[in-house]
Amino acid sequence: MKFTKKFLTAAICLGLLTPFAAQVDNVAFASDADKAATSKIKAEKLNLTSAWDKVFPQSKNVNHRKVTFVNRYGITLAADLYEPKNYTGKLPAIAVCGPFGAVKEQSSGLYAQTMAERGFLTIAFDPSFTGESGGTPRFVASPDINTEDFCAAVDYLSTLNNVDANRIGIIGICGWGGMALNAAAIDTRIKATVTSTMYDMSRVMANGYFDYDKTTTQLENERQQNRLNLNRQRTRDYKNGTYARAGGVVDPLPDDAPQFVKDYYDYYKTERGYHKRSLNSNDGWNVTSALSFMNMPLLCYVDEIKTPVLLIHGENAHSKYFSESAFEMMSPTGNKTLMIVEGASHVDLYDNLDAIPFDKIEEFFNDNL
């Protein structure tokens, strides 16, 4: 018994056994019932609106319904499912998310509904902690959990009777473009990936905008100042018992705002794209959300993505360098394409049907799913 106690204690310290599975004092192990209860996938009951409250019109050519699914961290996600009417057989499927700080009633829903019109079963989902999805605290982002959200969407799609589980792709818009690439790098069930007007959120939160114009010393000094500011904010939040919000798109809009900020305002703050659950349209993320991205680069393993990737960006987008850099990191693997849309800005690829290359996206998925 003495040897057993020593062994169990050492094993727990090394991570070979977990403290809740073994008690060193009496060598008692969890019952089968306890194990089943702690490992069961449980869906939270979410409060989902039944009304059509999207910022785009409903299509008569697709069926639509609300669905939920659970990610690996036990967070229940809300999604809109779109499927073509009068289909036969099993369908290829696509999960869509983004932009960063948006909800499924905005750009991702438009992409999902349009791709359903073109013959795919699609879901547009709210990421963890936002929109109609579960998770607390609210309004926080995570490079790990939000990548997992994409993989959980694949879990869900893989189990649908009318989906071919070997023909599943994903679309990441804006900040969810980086998350989509990270998901494609880890999840071999994702057979093809599209990013549209992507941001690398870990890069922009670590270095700010246009880091290619900054010296190493500038970057180091800015990062250190950001660390100081964000960790002071952590202390204030804990003292206050609430998480401070960063604010959404600036409102009122300053006269000297950069053009891309004016474009964001035109989408998120006007009838064109405003939504009451959208963080960008309202009070934004928790201030300290940036902390988890600063030291966790999303694109570390994109060069290991074996499946096809299509990166789409606007010629005039301030963010074009994110797609260009990602493409350079992946291009040695071959089946990767960078498409630049002539004359398009960053926000044009949110909802401008004359700019979003849906024909190319459809062709890409038809060829690779």
pLDDT at 177: 98
Amino acid at 334: G
CB 179, CB 147: distance < 8 Å: yes
d(CA 118, CA 142): 32
CB 273, CB 279: distance < 8 Å: no
Amino acid at 250: V
DSSP summary character for residue 304: G
CB 204, CB 122: distance < 8 Å: no
- The distance of Cα 341 from the centroid of its chain, to the nearest Å, equals 23
d(CA 171, CA 217): 36
Q: Which residues contact 306 (CB under 8 A, 6 or more apart)?
A: 188, 333
pLDDT at 334: 85
Tens of pLDDT, residue by residue over 36-63, are: 666 788 888 999 999 999 999 999 999 9
> With DSSP H G I counted as helix, E B as strand and the rest as coil, what are the percentages for the chain, rounded to 5?
40, 15, 45
d(CA 347, CA 98): 12
pTM (two decimals): 0.90
pLDDT classification of 19: cutoffs 50, 70, 90? very low
Mean pLDDT for the chain overall? 92
Instruction: Kindly report the CATH number that applies to the domain delimited by 62-206+299-368.
Output: 3.40.50.1820
pLDDT at 36: 61
pLDDT classification of 1: cutoffs 50, 70, 90? very low
Report, in angstroms and rounded to the nearest whole number, the Rg of the chain calculated over CA atoms: 22
The backbone region for 365, taken as left when phi is positive above 0, alpha when psi lies in -120 to 50, beta otherwise, is alpha
- The distance of Cα 95 from the centroid of its chain, to the nearest Å, equals 10
pLDDT at 204: 97
What percent of the chain lies above the pLDDT cut of 70? 90
pLDDT at 131: 98
Domain coordinates in residue numbering, the chain: 1-28, 62-206+299-368
Question: Which one is predicted more confidently, 34 or 152?
Answer: 152
Tens of pLDDT, residue by residue over 273-301, are: 999 999 999 999 999 999 999 999 999 99
**HSE of 186, CA atoms in CB hemisphere, 13 A:** 16
pLDDT at 203 over 80: yes
pLDDT at 27: 47
Tens of pLDDT, residue by residue over 64-99, are: 999 999 999 999 999 999 999 999 999 999 999 999
Q: For 10-14, what is the mean pLDDT?
A: 43
pLDDT at 6 over 90: no
What percent of the chain lies above the pLDDT cut of 90? 87
Helix (H, G, I), strand (E, B) or coil at 193: strand
